[in-house]
Amino acid sequence: MHNMLDLIYELWFLRRDLVSDGYDFALKRLAAEMKGQMTIHEYPTGEPCWTWQAPEKWSCSAAYLETLDGRRLIDAADHPLHVVSYSLPFEGVVSREELLRHLHVHPRLPHAIPFVFKYYQRDWGLCASSMLRDTLDEPSYRVVIRSKFSPGTLKVGEVVIPGQSEQSFVLAAHLCHPAMVNDDLTGVLVGLEAAKALLSGPKPYFTYRLLIVPETIGSLAYLSHNEALIPGMVGGLFLEMLGNDSPHALQGSFQPQSQVDRCFRSALTALDAHSYSAPYRTVINNDERQFNAPGVRVPMLSLSRVEPPGSPNWPYAEYHSSLDTPAIVTEERLQTSAQVVLDLIEAWECNQYVVNNFKGEVFCSGYGIWIDYLTNPEGHRRLFEIMERCDGSRTVADIAVELEISFQAVWEVVSQLQAKELVWLSRAPNPTDPDRRLS
Ligand SMILES: [Zn+2]
């Protein structure tokens, strides 16, 4: 079995544009890693995806900038980011002014080549460091971009981990960022690592689906062709930017009071002491938008390691540039994030309505669960605060959010009460039918 960083080294430098040979190669390699557990869904160019359609395949055999005497200044053969993703073809001599209108640089990093894409507002373009741009002082230059648009196939990889229930929870990550690592290969590999662990563990309650997509259009292609699955999707988590050295950031869904929002928000605090949560669309925008959107409305959160919004390096210093290389990520951080994902899922599996088998206040000493208020006043108070909320109307996450304590702290008490048969757990609120216990 490969570790995540080995696969990153293998795949990161590929020209993984939306519909491209590089993307297909990477997805096929990841499917091989999953040993037959990944299905690849195919959507031909032009296939309607609600209000969108699957794009053309884009390839680029050469892209460079030269002086008129043939000195090559930029060459996409050296770095895929030197050409705009989905650039129109162009060949000719242009004035310096014309060139500068089509030559993109990074807004913050003078040494870096920026990642620029023109999927839908088509234009030709090259990218360079601003250091290089600032040396361009000749009146005209020669530009060559031999790109090609052709009918192709958009591909979405799906790994399904069957659960006891057909209700599903979606993990999603995108794979379409050429020659970059933290955004986006890290999310893909953390997702695969979590999927491998789920596949080798006991059968979960929920069915889990890991989707690997080209950003936005891949999610739309999958959702628009699997509408029947949408009502059964109970929640989701988008994964990205999990290899750099920032605290975990959890972005809530469009429905901040959903059970999955409450569960993950209260569970993450116990998993990373430096982590933070923020509302929908305030951390980083990705495929979770398609799941949260009208007509879908699956509460999908996102997990990443991102500087807090407003910080000068947001979301991280090397974002969307040629400096987003394997050097800025570590295997250890990826492993930690994969474990955070699995621990969030574990909480989600446990998050049921807590139903009382008792009436009145429990005789705690009699059940051996008494916590002495003299030696542990906090524990004593928490035990009673949690117990009085075990009434069938609240989930473990509801209680955690109400008491502003971690999911795990509530679960510890609830599982103790469950072991003493003082409470039982139900997937539905306020159950009256005792048979619900078995469902
Ligand atoms: Zn990105």
Least confident of 44-53, 316-325, 367-376: 367-376
Q: Which of 86-90, 209-213, 335-339, 380-384 has the lowest mean pLDDT?
A: 380-384
| Ligand 1 mean position, distance from CA 350 (Å) | 33
Are the beta carbons of 127 and 103 closer than 8 angstroms?
Answer: yes
177 C-alpha to ligand 1 centroid (Å): 7
Name the CATH code of domain 4-55+153-350 (choices 3.20.20.70, 1.10.1740.10, 3.40.630.10, 2.30.110.10).
Answer: 3.40.630.10
Q: Which two tokens stand for residue 150?
A: 């052709």
Determine the distance separating the centroid of ligand 1 and the alpha carbon of 180, expressed in angstroms: 9
Residue 28 has a pLDDT of 98
Among 293, 297, 237, 296, CA closest to 265: 237
Cα-to-centroid distance, 182 and ligand 1 (Å):
9
Give percent of the chain with pLDDT exceeding 70: 98
For residue 286, the Cα-to-chain-centroid distance in whole angstroms is: 8
Quote the pTM value: 0.96
Which residues make beta-bridge pairs with 348?
none
Q: Where are the beta strands (DSSP E) in 111-259?
A: 126-127, 140-150, 153-161, 168-174, 207-213, 233-239, 248-251
* Nearest of 42, 417, 439 to residue 222 by alpha carbon: 42
The answer on pLDDT for 308 being more than 90 is: no
- Per-domain residue ranges of the chain: 4-55+153-350, 57-150, 353-438
Strands lying side by side in the sheet with 153-161: 38-44, 153-161, 207-213, 168-174, 233-239, 300-305, 248-251, 276-278
CA dihedral in degrees (415, 420, 422, 427; nearest 10)? 40
| Single-letter amino acid, residue 122 | R
Q: How far is the CA of 400 from the centre of ligand 1 (A)?
A: 33
pLDDT, the chain, mean: 96
**Paired residues of 303 in beta bridges:** 239, 250
CB-count burial class (<10 Å; 0-12, 13-18, 19+) for 399: buried
Residue 94 alpha carbon to ligand 1 centre in Å: 30
| pLDDT above 50: residue 439 | no
Task: Give the Å distance between the CA of 152 and the centre of ligand 1.
Answer: 23
Sign of CA dihedral 357, 431, 236, 33: positive
Looking at the predicted structure, is the pLDDT value of residue 128 above 80?
Answer: yes
pLDDT value of residue 424? 96
The topology under which CATH files domain 57-150 is Glucose Oxidase; domain 1 (3.50.30)
- Each residue of 149-197: pLDDT tens digit? 999 999 999 999 999 999 999 999 999 999 999 999 999 999 999 999 9
435 pLDDT exceeds 60?
Answer: no
Ligand 1 center–CA 397 separation, angstroms: 32
**Strand partners of residue 433:** none
Tens-place pLDDT, residues 53-78: 999 999 999 999 999 999 999 999 99
Q: What are the tens digits of pLDDT across the range 192-246? A: 999 999 999 999 999 999 999 999 999 999 999 999 999 999 999 999 999 999 9
Instruction: Name the residue with tokens 């030197």.
Output: 82
- Whole-number Å distance, alpha carbon 7 to ligand 1 midpoint, is 19
- Find residue 321's DSSP bridge partners: 114
**pLDDT of 2 higher than 70:** no
Residue with tokens 């599996």: 349
The confidence score (pLDDT) of residue 1 equals 47
CA of 437 to the centre of ligand 1 (A): 45
Band of residue 433 on the pLDDT scale cut at 50, 70, 90:
low
225 phi and psi angles, rounded to 5 deg: -100, 5
- Interval between CA 174 and ligand 1 midpoint (Å): 9
The band of 434, judged by pLDDT with boundaries at 50, 70 and 90, is low
Instruction: Give the span between the Cα atoms of 97 and 366, in whole angstroms.
Output: 85
Separation of alpha carbons 283 and 260, rounded Å? 18
Report CA(175)–ligand 1 centroid distance (Å): 10
Kindly write down the DSSP assignment for every residue of 366-410, as one continuous string.
Answer: HHT----TTT-HHHHHHHHHHHTT-SSS-BHHHHHHHHTS-HHHH
Give the per-residue pLDDT at 219.
98
Q: Give distance in angstroms: CA of 183 to centre of ligand 1.
A: 5
pLDDT at 377: 86
The first and second tokens of residue 85, run together, are 């993703």
Residue 392 structure tokens = 């069938």
What are the pLDDT digits (tens) for 326-366? 999 999 999 999 999 999 999 999 999 999 999 999 999 99
CA 248 to ligand 1 center in whole angstroms: 17
| The pLDDT value given to residue 323 | 98
Ligand 1 centre to CA of 306 (Å) is 13
